[in-house]
Chains A and B, each alone.
Chain A
Amino acid sequence: MCGIVGLYLKNPERRSQLGALFSPMLEEMTGRGPDSAGFAVYRGAGEADAPPAGGKLTLYSPADWEDWDALAHAMAERLGAPVTASRNASHAVLSAAAPSQAMRDWVAANRPDLRIMSAGSTLEIYKEVGLPRAVLERFGAPQMAGSHMIGHTRMATESAVTTEGAHPFNTGDDLCLVHNGSLSNHHALKRRLAREGGLAFQTENDSEVAAGYLTWRLAQGAALEDALEAALKDLDGFYTFAVGTRNGFAVLRDPIACKPAVLAETDDWVAMASEYRSLARLPGVERAAVWEPKPATVYVWGTA
């Protein structure tokens, strides 16, 4: 199983409510995935229409004594640019007036024990083992503002129940993916992506390979829509994906479409979920268009 949800705000006036609208959506999917949960939020200086201000990483340390300020200080010295750290439970967001790639390189060289949950300019990813409600509360999700959020509740099938194996997966700047299903050609695809795209993967999870595939296509210059069209040819298996980029939100299902999905859209927002009950409390849902997304059909919102 697994539950996936996504909420993309079309009306910027709703951005202060993003986390409050999104959190009950994810919690409602507890029955589909009680093992672990995670969510991605797009927020901050470079949000949606504005240009990115600099790089941003979400880091995870299993050690609760991690001194994030000291780490930010050490990184700033090396990069020659200010770096700020903001702790959020087991995670921390590092922001710098430097490209995210330089930040990632520093972490890889100096703190390979830390897990990079996300990299980009507006994306932050939080995930943990445990019930969705506990995960949401631990990171203060209901208070978060931003343009869009994507989340996942996991019932593991392909790899272990760990924080690292939870979704969403981020494999390139500001791209994230959540997946309900299982891929059957991810080992071969992973080797191809490593060989042709030079991609490195952090887990054994099949969904990370799907995220890596989209990153690879986007790096080649494809638009998100085209990258997803190509995914229909190159990915084999069962999937419903929700995908976030800095300015966009997308949904894709495999041609057989056994994994559930429902979409709802109003003038203010577009939302997807594995089941309608996740959408039932959104404002104006009683007037929303509600439909099951078609198989092998790319749905994209925003300017991705």
Chain B
Amino acid sequence: MSSDVIDLAGAADVRAANRRLQGRQGAVAGGRFEVLNPGGAHALAAGLMDDVEVVIRGPVGYYCAGMNKNATVRIEGAAGVGLAENIMSGEVRVTGNASQSAGASGHGGLVVIEGDAASRCGISMKGVDIVVGGSVGHNSAFMAQAGRLVICGDAEDGLGDSIYEAQIFLRGAAKGLGADCVEKEMRPEHEVQLAELLARAGIDLPASAFRRYGSARSLYNFKVDNIGAY
């Protein structure tokens, strides 16, 4: 199946490219696009609402594929700050490393980072699944409310700080867990879910190699003993 080519080294600028990918210049559902020479441009392929497939050949800047809904976006290179921030559904994949705040506040869908993610990966995530092939920086899954963060490498300090009901699966070691984040039992149903997620992400690792972390639920529940603090 052939792709429509958008070359950012040529006449197309980012606004024009995004208008086209967003279907504002004619229906695009089911379409395939190839973006050449992204040159680290910001907000590329942001706000896609339709079921399109976009391959970006090269590194992108900030907020790539932000607010994604239904679309499948593949970035062949590295991604800047805020990759797939506020993703609603669909899939965003980067073959290189991602800068900080990847998948921030995402509501749904899947974000796959084949390399490393920097700090604050999955900050305030609200239902998105994030799979990181490498390691993550500090304060990843900070205040994470729902969804799953899978880390195939290690995590820096403050993993899962002030976490709500999101789940973290970590294969390597965490330099430190954040407040209220604790290791939890990996039950058979978790292994099944994780194996399914790893398969979707295309990562060939056994679910049994991971440990599960989540909220101790001691921070966000109101306690009458703390009434004096209000």
- Contact surface of A with B, Cβ cutoff 8 Å: 257, 260, 262, 275-281, 286, 290-292, 294-295
| Contact between chains at B78 and A291 (CB < 8 Å) | yes
| Contact between chains at B138 and A295 (CB < 8 Å) | yes
| Contact between chains at B62 and A275 (CB < 8 Å) | yes
Contact status of A257 and B39, CB under 8 A, knowing A275-B62, A276-B61, A292-B118 = no
| Contact between chains at A290 and B77 (CB < 8 Å) | yes
| Contact between chains at B96 and A290 (CB < 8 Å) | yes
| Contact between chains at A257 and B40 (CB < 8 Å) | no
Chain A nearest Cβ from B188, distance in angstroms? 36
Contact status of A276 and B78, CB under 8 A, knowing A257-B119, A290-B59, A294-B137 = yes
| Contact between chains at B61 and A257 (CB < 8 Å) | no
Contact status of A276 and B116, CB under 8 A, knowing A260-B99, A290-B77, A290-B97 = no
Docked complex Cα distance between A235 and B113 (Å): 33
Contact status of A260 and B40, CB under 8 A, knowing A290-B96, A292-B99 = no
Chain B nearest Cβ from A179, distance in angstroms? 19
| Contact between chains at B40 and A279 (CB < 8 Å) | yes
Chain A nearest Cβ from B46, distance in angstroms? 16
Docked complex Cα distance between A290 and B78 (Å): 7
- Rank and list the top 5 A-B pairs by shortest CB-CB distance, nearest first: A277-B40, A276-B40, A280-B39, A292-B118, A290-B78
| Contact between chains at A260 and B97 (CB < 8 Å) | no
Chain A nearest Cβ from B41, distance in angstroms? 7
| Contact between chains at A295 and B137 (CB < 8 Å) | yes
Contact status of A276 and B59, CB under 8 A, knowing A292-B118, A295-B138 = yes
Contacts of A278 in B (CB 8 A): 40
Can you show 22 pairs from A to B with CB atoms below 8 A apart?
Answer: A257-B138, A260-B99, A260-B100, A275-B61, A275-B62, A276-B40, A276-B59, A277-B42, A278-B40, A280-B39, A280-B59, A281-B39, A290-B59, A290-B96, A290-B97, A291-B78, A291-B97, A291-B115, A292-B97, A292-B100, A294-B156, A295-B137
B80 at the interface (CB under 8 A from A): yes
Docked complex Cα distance between A281 and B58 (Å): 12
Docked complex Cα distance between A294 and B135 (Å): 12
Give the most central of A280, A292, A295: most B CB within 10 Å: A292
Docked complex Cα distance between A275 and B62 (Å): 8
| Contact between chains at B97 and A295 (CB < 8 Å) | no
B132 at the interface (CB under 8 A from A): no
Contacts of B118 in A (CB 8 A): 257, 291-292, 294
Contacts of A280 in B (CB 8 A): 39-40, 58-59
Contacts of B97 in A (CB 8 A): 290-292
Docked complex Cα distance between A257 and B62 (Å): 16
Chain B nearest Cβ from A31, distance in angstroms? 10
User: For the side of the interface on B, what is the size category?
Assistant: 20 to 34
B81 at the interface (CB under 8 A from A): yes
Docked complex Cα distance between A276 and B58 (Å): 11
Contacts of A276 in B (CB 8 A): 40, 59-61, 78, 80
Q: Kindly list 17 other residue pairs between chains A and B, CB separation below 8 angstroms, not including A275-B80, A277-B39, A277-B40.
A: A257-B119, A257-B138, A260-B100, A275-B61, A276-B40, A276-B60, A276-B61, A276-B80, A278-B40, A279-B40, A280-B39, A280-B59, A286-B77, A291-B116, A292-B97, A294-B118, A295-B119
Contacts of A275 in B (CB 8 A): 40, 42, 61-62, 80
Docked complex Cα distance between A294 and B77 (Å): 19
Q: Which residues of B in the span 72-118 have a Cβ within 8 Å of any Cβ on A? A: 77-78, 80-81, 96-97, 99-100, 115-116, 118
Chain A nearest Cβ from B99, distance in angstroms? 5
Contacts of B41 in A (CB 8 A): 277
Chain A nearest Cβ from B70, distance in angstroms? 27
Docked complex Cα distance between A279 and B80 (Å): 12
| Contact between chains at A286 and B58 (CB < 8 Å) | yes
Contact status of A260 and B58, CB under 8 A, knowing A277-B40, A280-B40, A290-B96 = no
Contacts of B78 in A (CB 8 A): 262, 276, 290-291
Docked complex Cα distance between A37 and B99 (Å): 26
Chain B nearest Cβ from A270, distance in angstroms? 15
Contacts of A292 in B (CB 8 A): 97, 99-100, 118, 137
Contacts of A281 in B (CB 8 A): 39
Q: Which residues of B in the span 130-168 have a Cβ within 8 Å of any Cβ on A? A: 137-138, 156
Docked complex Cα distance between A73 and B195 (Å): 78
Docked complex Cα distance between A291 and B96 (Å): 8
Contact of A257 among B60, B80, B100, B116 (CB under 8 A): B100
Docked complex Cα distance between A179 and B100 (Å): 19
**From A276, which residue of chain B is reached at the shortest CB distance?**
B40
Contact of A262 among B99, B116, B119, B138 (CB under 8 A): B99
Docked complex Cα distance between A241 and B40 (Å): 21
Residue interface mask B43-74, A partner, CB < 8 A = 1? 00000000000000011111000000000000
**From A278, which residue of chain B is reached at the shortest CB distance?**
B40
